[in-house]
Structure 1
Amino acid sequence: MNNTYKIENYKICPECHGSVIKNLHENVCVECGLIINDLQLMDSYQYNEIKNTDLSAGDQFVSIGKTIDNVCTLGSHIGYYSSNSFFDHRNMILPSAQQKKFRKLKKQYSLPIKIKNHETDYRILGILNRITQYMNLSDNVKNRSAYFYQSIKKKATNIRNHVSLIAFCIYYSSREFSQNAPISIKEICKVFTIMGHRINPKLIIRDSITYKCFIMKNEKINRPHKSEDYINRFVNSIVNSSEICVRMKKKGISWTKEEYKRKLETKCNSTLKLLDLNVRRARNPFILAGAVIYCADKLIAKENNTKTILTQKSASNAMEIAEYSIRDHYVKILKPIFFP
């Protein structure tokens, strides 16, 4: 079915005539579940919007492509975007003198004209693309981060640090799409440092306090994360660790990676349900999730009469959590309950 309906025209479902509600970024029928319209993002974002709508037929203009998370996707180039050789309209290569001329024009005028007056935006969106690619974040997180950045830039009177702002937007959008494994502020700062940007957690927290009021309020974003949100991410890190695979062979474990992953996830979720909320409330959910995985491995080994696969050191290396933190949470919280 075509999903290009206007939102205001469809308050009832065109299929079953049920009521339509907004669920995150989609209009969904409560009766049949049909997605009427995707509200996630605009397809593109135009920096210079045309105010005058009374354009005559002769008032033609060309605008460069400015998508919300990329640059130079549309518009005119001299030759192809990265070409060094140029051809005429008959697809014949130009003489060397002409090649030199157009190469000079391409170098001096092509890119500067496209980014004129928007150098900061292009630089920040380029950083966003590199960061999300390095962290293997989904397109939803990347697009949402770019949307938040544009919204804040448009509404805020002053931006103190554009790089820390896009770091805050990445963090904020990752909390909205928690199914894509939430990331911490410390992890974002680490990647920005690797990329050569001086960003620290204080700057991101400062931007959160300052600019949070300019973007969409969402209860799901403001909800604190639970340990359950990190289980899938940590289990994937463990089963994909070469050190863990070697230990499985050394201990004579016949399970496949998928079987071990399924057992760990099931046991972790059941273990977290048995923990009292008052105990969990005082602990870091990120570290507690790692300790629960270490405990779940011990419980699986006890139930199946096999040897444990994880050690505190191997779990620490796979999940990038300090070894003493895993040991502290396990000894003080989990061991008295499950191994009295």
Structure 2
Amino acid sequence: MRPFSYTQSPDVTTAVQEVSAQGAKFIAGGTNLLDLMKIDVMSPSHLVDITQLALNTIEETPDGGLRLGALAKNADTAYHELVQTRYPLLAHAILAGATAQLRNMATDGGNLLQRTRCYYFYDTHTPCNKREPGSGCSAIKGYNRDLAILGTSEHCIATHPSDMCVALAALEATVHVKSSQGERAIPFAEFHRLPGDTPHLDTNLHPTEIITAIELPAKGFAQHYAYLKLRDRASYAFALVSVAAALELEGDTVKEARIALGGVAHKPWRVPEAEALLQGKPASKENFRAVAEAYLAGAKGYGDNTFKIELAKRAIVRALEQAISMEGKS
């Protein structure tokens, strides 16, 4: 780990001023950043500690939604009464990710900013456009079993590792941020980026912006939901494919469907046009299969990960079936 300086910010205004210095980064739970610093993948010259900022509350919003402070711990969010009763999809997704110890340290805002777990990103002896723009992508012709099959580019096939973000995408959350220029709200679908020719940029955050909160809309799909995570082992592991499924039903007919995929792209993957295929249709396996085919249209395998295309289709069908049964409520 390289030497760095450190300050602890007393308020948001001071924090955004301090992080404007070249090479500065925010640190809260540090569950990803510190790991990357230890292996020299990231080497900020200055850390701005934001753990003392008043951003750790979870409270209701006037329109019936819920506002998650950016510094609320993952564990506190997952076990919060309002999250469990009104947004159980989010609670299940958080509890599917990481270990209890990590969830006790990791923050909600930090979860959004996780870096990829691509092997080559972590290996500083191999080319990686995400780590060093213009150096090349070792994964495309290398070992890529865990990597992306959707939204890829010739420059990067990395995946976003978060479970929480997959649920937030399905729930259509909003990310609130602040900088010295003011505040803005970013729809969750616009927060993360696809790699394109700038794979080193994971999000659309400006360099000096800080996440202050994540806002959940009033509709939480608490009756019919499922979070399905397929991985190599049942214990702590990142998803090969994950599915957040949320349904609003009228009898056996789908009134609204939300589906988000994890483990398959540079960001949580949604296809609203495919979801619309279910609207007004019976909640049947046949219709679920049609949606799954539409979701994976354009998917591309790179050899070791080609199996994920069929796996993702089957996972979508299974998650939707769980969402209409009691299985999604365990």
> TM-score, normalised on structure 1?
0.24
Q: Which has the higher contact order (CA 8 A, sep 6+)?
A: 2
Q: Which of these two proteins has the greater Rg computed from alpha carbons?
A: 1
More strand by share: 2
How high is the TM-score relative to the length of structure 2?
0.25
